[in-house]
Structure 1
Amino acid sequence: MPRRIMFVQLKTGHGTDRGPSWIGWVDFSKTWKTAYLHGRTLRRATGLGLSDANFYDVETDEEFWVSGPKRDRSDTRYGPGGPRVEDDAADAYRAFLRGAPLPGREHG
């Protein structure tokens, strides 16, 4: 199962880019249509008409934005602060901010 460090933000119940966000490890299915994190199963939301999300929780229907982190730390456009970096992803994320490729993305 592919595993990547990703930026994740909860969209449901929050104004534009004001939901809680974090940087952490996300596991993906072989097809990249399903993501697994924090005990949740998220499905890709293409064609579902979601306003500002690209994944949704299959159990709760909560909407999420999932993307690769940005080196300039501009992941949230209007959020109340930066994302919380999870402990197990902190070293790899700091290396990425210093210029290293993200784990699993060394070749593109």
Structure 2
Amino acid sequence: MYRVMYLELKSGYHDDGPAWIGKVKLSKSGQTIYFHDHAFQKYNGASGNYIDIETGEEYWISGVKKNGEDRHWAGHGKITIDRSVVDEYLSITGEPAVDRSRLQVGDIEEAYPVERIQKLLNQL
């Protein structure tokens, strides 16, 4: 089971970091989010609401906004949307097509490091 979510790297970028819309996997407890070979846990940081468990980098992670304005109003740069979620994204936003001025369609690797992260957390 997966959810379509918006993710943006905040550490070192503020509102202009790389951003993605893609499939995330949630842990059974819902405390950990897995995406693109990374794992994130809830965090109250300076600019992010999640932290990468392995790197300590801050991310902003949220559901996809119905109005299509996922990136912070002060942010710039295109958001990469996974090709496999385009139809679901368009259904959520009600848009007839991908807005190429804001989004670029790409292939995001579905790699969910559940075992690696569980091992790491158990060591801590």
Q: TM-score, normalised by structure 2?
A: 0.69
Q: Distance in 2 between matches of 1:27 and 1:4?
A: 7
1:81 is matched with: 77
Identity of aligned residues (%): 34
Say which structure is richer in helix.
2
1:81 Cα deviation (Å)?
Answer: 3.4
CA distance in 1, matches of 2:50, 2:87: 26
User: Which residue, 43, 47, 58 being the options, matches 1:52?
Assistant: 47
Q: CA RMSD in A?
A: 1.6
Q: 2:12 maps to what in 1? A: 13
Quote how far apart the aligned CAs of 1:82 are: 4.2
Larger Rg: 2
Tell me if 1:68 matches 2:63. Answer: yes
For the 8 Å contact 2:5–2:23, the answer to whether it is kept is: yes
| Structure 1 residue 67: Cα displacement | 0.3
The number of residues matched between the two structures is 94
**Do the aligned residues in 2 keep the contact of 1:73 with 1:82 (CA within 8 Å)?**
no
Unpaired stretches in structure 2, ≥5 consecutive residues: 96-124
- Assess if the C-alpha contact under 8 Å between 1:9 and 1:21 holds in 2: yes
Residue identity opposite 1:88 in structure 2 = S
Q: Could you tell me which amino acid in structure 2 is paired with residue 13 of structure 1?
A: G
Which of the numbers 86, 94, 98 marks the counterpart of 1:98?
94
**What is the deviation of 1:30?**
2.1
Amino acid at match of 1:7: Y
What is the deviation of 1:45? 1.3
Query: Are 1:33 and 2:31 counterparts?
Result: yes
- In 1, Cα distance between the equivalents of 2:29 and 2:60? 18
Partner Cα separation in structure 2 for residue 32 and residue 67 of structure 1: 14
Per-residue deviation, 1:36:
0.3
TM-score by length of 1: 0.78
Extract unaligned runs of 5+ from structure 1: 100-108
